[in-house]
Structure 1
Amino acid sequence: MEKFKTLGGSEGSTFFFSVERQKKWERLDGPIGAFVRVMPWRHFGRKNLGYLFAILHGADFFFDFDDDNYIKVDESTGKPVEILPSTTVLDNVMVAMSGPTAFNHHPMMKPSIPAPSWARGFPWEYIKDEATEGEPAFSQSIPFVSKLNSIGVIHEGATNVLVPKHAYSPYNAQASIHTQPALWATLLPTTVPGRVSDIWRSYFAQCIFADSNLRLVFSPPKIEQIRNDHDILADFAAENDLYTKSGKLIDFLSSWDSEHLHFPQRVEQLWIDLYERSYIELDDVVALQKWLEALITMGYKFPELKPRFRNVALMGQFNFADFPNSMTQIMMWSQKMRERFQTTIAAAPLNKTQLAYLETHRIDAIPARDLKLRKRDHLGFYNPLSNLMRTLLRFENSSTIEAVLYAHDDALLNLTELSEGKYPFPTDKIANRIKGELSNAAFVDLRTMPDRAKARTLSHRVFPNGTISDIDKTIFVNTSSELKKQIPSLHAKYKQWGHYYCAPGQQQMAMDPEFAMYLDPDGSAWFPFHTQSDFLIVPTKYAKPFTEAATMHLKHFIWIECAFGKIVDILQQQLQAPTRLVKLCTGFGDRRGRWDVINNHDCQSESVAVFHPFKIRGRFDEFWAHADEINFPAYSSRGKN
């Protein structure tokens, strides 16, 4: 690469990339010369040569600014201020929550001009939509150097604001910093006017940012602008696409996906798709291809891809919605989960006012509609099953959603383990979680378990006449309490089984003529060991049979912890549905829901898939940090504290 560097000059820290030197680059063989030759003269996009030059010379950052920008002077030293943030942290970064895919960061920065205020390129149709302004969740200091793999662009604004990863906020080329993992994203399209080029670049980049763990941060300005003369009407005409196309562009980018998991191929596919929808012309696709070839030739290291899962809908179950910050909690959960799932749904006992609030903020939510269940369901014993059933039916005929991942709001998910390290998400099995001691019982057919003594302690039978028996049909009684006296160890660790929530409903269901289709060949209804009900993955191809079995359990008010195991058994027996068990880390006690309770030595295995319970309420910064720690980076990077 040395011969390329000498063509640009290498003395000192300032380089003048003259016309003469640019023409020398045009005569180069290979990808670099090919890229330079397709760059038009007298266009804003000619800056692309400067970006390429800087990457070639080992730049770790780009400070991209215009010729009418001047770096501020530190009054205490009389020297220009440091452009890069502190070498340690970005201080007091406001984490923004927003449901819509368009995010207007201006109001959160409290601009001095009267509202409404918005950045160039923000869709006009959303300017008066207050939901796009988001809400501040909390402030935090982000380690800058150690987080370079997650901060892609820092753009100047009035204050530090972290843009939601699922949302799009325009940034321009006036004064922005690109970090090394985002240098690939500096390419400006040249078949559109210069007033559009940098805004289009920002939107295109954020689409890939969402799939590569990169973030956009707005930070206080370190430059002053002394505006050049501008023809306002000419600028207005040049910016026409920003007014007429940006909203639809965001809609397209938000739903875009590609089968390519190789970074350059994924970027290339995006630009091809943008060309096919007339956002750019063919020459830009050619330029992008040559740009990527040049970066590969120079040994540029592209960031790791971590695409959002689009073939699975995540349903979050919230058992309560009557505490002061419940809506904020739902918004926080939804935003964080949308970093890895394209489709998220919050299910909760919402009233009409709460539901309307979430709809306004574009949070997909479903209320507990069954009044009979609601009257008897103050602890979320039944409605979660109803909500899962309704969500499965919603996506039964979807061409994209292949499974529903159901998880309570207090469950943190190790997606590397759950997805088996694959993309898209595997959806061929029903999956539930288990603790180690229950690994030989959950979702296991105890009818054929070799250890009959243990099988007798974990399950039972009910006959259509109401008679209850042990699994081997050696004891016959009329009530669950009688069977418990005969087998004291029966469901020993599950006190609720013999009370109101499980056994009585199971007895009534077995006597229900509509349940006859689910009886064993001997005419009995076998009921398996209970399973924890805070997590389940169900392929949508089982939506109808799952619904039919779930309806029977809801009809007789059987708690989900007893219902899940039997419903899955029905699918196994009737459809030979395969299942998969994943490991659970959990903890209870006086500090139930605190991180230190579940982050114990038993939870350090990389094979742990579900951490439960960690309560979000009021601890948004903790939830954010632990979700990042478990859900998103490589699991091996998890701390031990």
Structure 2
Amino acid sequence: MISIITTIAEPTESVIKLSNKSIYSNGLVIIGDKKGPFKYDLPNTQFYSLDNQLSLDFKLAKLLPTAHYSRKNLGYLLAIQQGEDCIYETDDDNAPNDYWSIRNQETKVLMAHSAHWINAYKHFSEESIWPRGFLLDYIGKDSAIPKHDGSLIKIKAPIQQGLADLSPDVDAIWRLTQDREFYFERKDSLALPTGSWCPFNTQSTWWWEEAFPLLYLPSYCSFRMTDIWKSFIAQRCLWEMGYHLVFHASEVDQDRNFHNLMRDFEAEISGYTQNEKLTKTLEASKLLPGSVNALRNLIICYEDLVIAGILPKEEMELVRAWANDYEKLKK
């Protein structure tokens, strides 16, 4: 297992805490950007400045925009190049809490009953809260509250999303209207059935090898939507692979970096207005069954989103570069 972070800051307290946990793993890969950092003095850490990234033998390295979260894609490729079979991705303001530990792909879950949209946060709290990217018109619907029969089952889940306490991953509307310290309840993990949507993020997320082709972060969209749109595409492809997305109780405390909330709101407007169209487009995508087709299905999803006018055609050059780099590494 290896941890992937992109940052413009020198080691934060949160990253130092993760580094201390990572003595049980293969450490951290830190992806910098134009603003820095220019060094990264932390044990068990591989640091790649922007100059280092541009010298990598990946087609994607020179195509990715600077000052963009999508440069994290290079961290994924580096982990794959190094033969990792599990990637933990997070941000530099998420500190592991007492419940953080290296997870297993096989996990015990409660399987949610089928619904078109499921607010997974409501499984871990009765308060009014929803994940960034969740459809606003489903927030108050009873159908979006997770329901299950109470039976734990063991499943293989190649994508598992951990929640964050203190400052959870929510949208700007939640923060502008009710921002406060927040702690989720500790409950059994929840799996979503095929056909049920819930956005997930890149703040505390575990990926195993079969799902690696789906790690790609788009560049030609808002920084507040890149990981959310990635999550919808990954979910759609997971369904064809016969897997379920899993949410589990909080394993990090987020000491959130400063954000201008109105700028966050502006950056989320494309999600508020297009997430339903995006997911309906993905539902109509004609994908191929099985894990062997994960990369091909990713490309099909992006082609369909370009045709639908949700992403510009320029995104496809990066998607194909990702696919080229990935296939080259897996030969």
Please give the TM-score of this superposition, normalised by the length of structure 1: 0.39
Q: Which residue identity lines up with residue 61 of structure 1 in the other structure?
A: C
> Which residue of 190, 197, 204 corresponds with 1:168?
197
Distance 2:249 2:289 in 1: 37
TM superposition shift of 1:253: 1.8
Distance 2:288 2:225 in 1: 29
Bigger relative CO (Cα 8 Å, ≥ 6 apart): 2
In structure 1, the partner of 2:323 is: 292
> Which residue of 158, 165, 173 corresponds with 1:152?
158
TM superposition shift of 1:283: 2.3
Task: Name the SS for the 1:298 alignment partner.
Answer: helix
> Which residue of 22, 25, 38 corresponds with 2:63?
38
TM superposition shift of 1:271: 0.7
Task: Name the SS for the 1:200 alignment partner.
Answer: helix
Which digits, 9 at most, give the CA deviation of each residue in 1:25-70, with x for residues without a partner?
1xx4xxx2x2211111110111111111111111111111111111
Distance 1:229 1:71 in 2: 19
In structure 2, the partner of 1:484 is: none
CA RMSD of aligned residues (A): 2.3
> Which residue of 59, 82, 90 corresponds with 1:57?
82
Q: Does 1:231 align with 2:272?
A: no
In structure 1, the partner of 2:114 is: 98
Alignment of 1:196-595 (within 5 A): 196-258=225-287, 263=293, 264-299=295-330
> Do the aligned partners of 1:98 and 1:133 also contact (CA within 8 Å) in 2?
no
TM superposition shift of 1:128: 1.8
Task: Name the SS for the 1:135 alignment partner.
Answer: coil
TM superposition shift of 1:104: 1.4
Unpaired runs of 5+ in structure 1?
Answer: 1-7, 75-80, 301-641
Which digits, 9 at most, give the CA deviation of each residue in 1:429-450, with x for residues without a partner?
xxxxxxxxxxxxxxxxxxxxxx
Q: Which residue identity lines up with residue 104 of structure 1 in the other structure?
A: N
In structure 1, the partner of 2:138 is: 126
TM superposition shift of 1:125: 1.7
> Which residue of 98, 103, 109 corresponds with 1:85?
103
Distance 2:259 2:242 in 1: 38
> Do the aligned partners of 1:97 and 1:135 also contact (CA within 8 Å) in 2?
yes
Task: Name the SS for the 1:178 alignment partner.
Answer: strand
In structure 1, the partner of 2:122 is: 107
Distance 1:58 1:260 in 2: 25
TM superposition shift of 1:172: 0.7
Q: Which has the larger radius of gyration?
A: 1
TM superposition shift of 1:122: 0.5
Q: Which residue identity lines up with residue 170 of structure 1 in the other structure?
A: P
TM superposition shift of 1:188: 0.5
Which digits, 9 at most, give the CA deviation of each residue in 1:311-346, with x for residues without a partner?
xxxxxxxxxxxxxxxxxxxxxxxxxxxxxxxxxxxx
Distance 2:118 2:281 in 1: 15
Q: How many residues are matched?
A: 266
Task: Name the SS for the 1:106 alignment partner.
Answer: helix
> Do the aligned partners of 1:258 and 1:266 also contact (CA within 8 Å) in 2?
yes
Identity %: 25
Seen in structure 2, the aligned counterparts of structure 1 residues 278 and 230 have a Cα distance that, compared at 3 Å, is same
